[in-house]
Structure 1
């Protein structure tokens, strides 16, 4: 099972590689279980400050494992399968350490939903990102309809969902779905560079920044600003805040410890 997702640590960045290239990195129950265990382990590893998710072979991920889905004999099995994907992707989205998806080839269906659960996305020029489930008579079921509508203009999200047609990397960048576009073959390097910059930040502030954006979007503005004020007041009392100010005065990078 461990072969479906490889983990490598590269200078405080954990690189998670979907490793089923013969199946275009289709996401099945084994991948979900492995991802969940990895996230639980890495969560408590102080040597890891950021994550990169990528795929082996010629694509990030073609989506959910249709072979596994076709073996189901009841709606309950499918519901449980989708529930597993949803839970794992929510765990990634709520993870206290920032994550970057490195997309090459294509990220489709459940593969795109995995990339959407990351904080940031880098895609190679020519890569395609889409939710083609409509062409199979179904819909994205692991957060795709909801995360797309929060990251894109609703009309664009609806077009992707209702037609099943993908966006290319350049169009996705124009619309804000992708943070950076890399040249062919360069997505992983660009994602690792971005994750490296994130890993240099103060861990408590990184986690708090994620929470403020993600949770604040569900609040009215006054409540969200109050939440922000309380959060930064807590950060003011940390050793990392003192180190950051000292490093600024000494004109050097901060050496943050997450305390």
Structure 2
């Protein structure tokens, strides 16, 4: 359901239901939640990559499981667990990169949206097709997508259910980097390695500043930034960063 591998300070979380096109069901959600909890305080992990096995990143939520629900309450509980897992990923203190290939639809795209950055292979399709099933995205899609795309583009995707091609998604800023077919995972790991080379405290603080600052007025956000960088000034990593710069070498950051 979910495979976790540690590769030189990077944790690679792979959706591993290729026959089901990596549809996200309750078991996958449970394993994702557990993995994020275990990795959160693992000092050997500096960045995450989220990927999918087989020919696609994810077809979305597990429709077979959803069709078995007999009441709106069961569906609400499922969506609640899914939303909570994606929120844990979004709030994870270490940066995350989605490696997207084939297609990422519905709950699969919502998973990628919960990551900090996205790498996609050329030809990949990204969409929220729920409207075509008479419903809407329920795990953050209607809220995260307009924060990453022009509002009119996000509305069109949500209200028509039509997907974007990866190249167009890159042009609009939804995708950070394009990879050639078959190269999304390697490109995502390379990007994650660049992130993992940074100072852990500064990485976590940078995520907080962007994510939380967007919900503040500008003056309050700048004050928040000032207080945050003042705290970072007193860290050993800041001293190491300056020393490494003067010695023209990469910094050896320890997260202290």
Identify the TM-score tier after normalising by the shorter chain.
over 0.9
1:150-203 CA distance string (max 9 Å, x none): 001110000000000000000000000000010000000000000000000000
* 1:42-99 Cα shifts (integer Å, max 9, x gaps): 0111100000000000000000000000000000000000000100000000000000
SS in 2 for 1:48: coil
- Tell me how large the CA RMSD over aligned residues is: 0.3
Which structure 2 residues correspond to residues 46-57 of structure 1 after superposition, within 5 A? 46-57=43-54
Q: TM-score, normalised by structure 1?
A: 0.99
User: What is aligned with 1:187?
Assistant: 184
> What is aligned with 2:157?
160
Is 1:234–2:231 an aligned residue pair? yes
May I ask how many residue pairs the two structures share in their alignment? Answer: 256
- 1:252 aligns to what? 249
- Counterpart CA distance in 1 for 2:177 and 2:41 is 29
> How far apart, in 2, do the equivalents of 1:133 and 1:123 lie?
21
Name 1:28's counterpart in structure 2: 25
Match of 2:9 among 12, 17, 34: 12
Q: Secondary structure at the match of 2:250?
A: coil
**1:80-91 counterparts in 2 under 5 A?**
80-91=77-88
Q: Deviation of residue 254 (structure 1)?
A: 0.3
Match of 1:111 in 2: 108
Q: Which aligned pairs between 1:186-205 and structure 2 lie closer than 5 A?
A: 186-205=183-202
Cα distance between partner residues in 2 of 1:27 and 1:134: 18
Q: Return the alpha-carbon distance in structure 1 between the equivalents of residues 121 and 230 of structure 2.
A: 39
TM-score by length of 2: 1.00
Supply the distance in 1 between the matched residues of 2:184 and 2:168 (Cα, whole angstroms): 16
Taking the aligned partners of 2:3 and 2:88, their CA distance within structure 1 comes to 18
SS class of match (2:212): helix
Instruction: Provide the rounded CA distance (Å) in 1 between the counterparts of 2:82 and 2:201.
Output: 27
Gaps in structure 1 of 5+ consecutive residues: none
CA distance in 1, matches of 2:43, 2:214: 29
Aligned pairs for 1:70-109 (under 5 A) are 70-109=67-106
Q: Deviations over 1:14-58 (max 9, x none)?
A: 001000001000000000000000000001111000000000000
Per the TM alignment, residue 247 of structure 1 is displaced from its structure 2 partner at its CA by 0.4
SS for the counterpart of 1:254 is coil
Q: Deviations over 1:81-129 (max 9, x none)?
A: 0000100000000000000000000000000000000000000000000
Q: 1: distance between equivalents of 2:97 and 2:72?
A: 33
How far did 1:147 drift?
0.2
Q: What are the equivalent positions in structure 2 for 1:59-70 lying under 5 Å apart?
A: 59-70=56-67
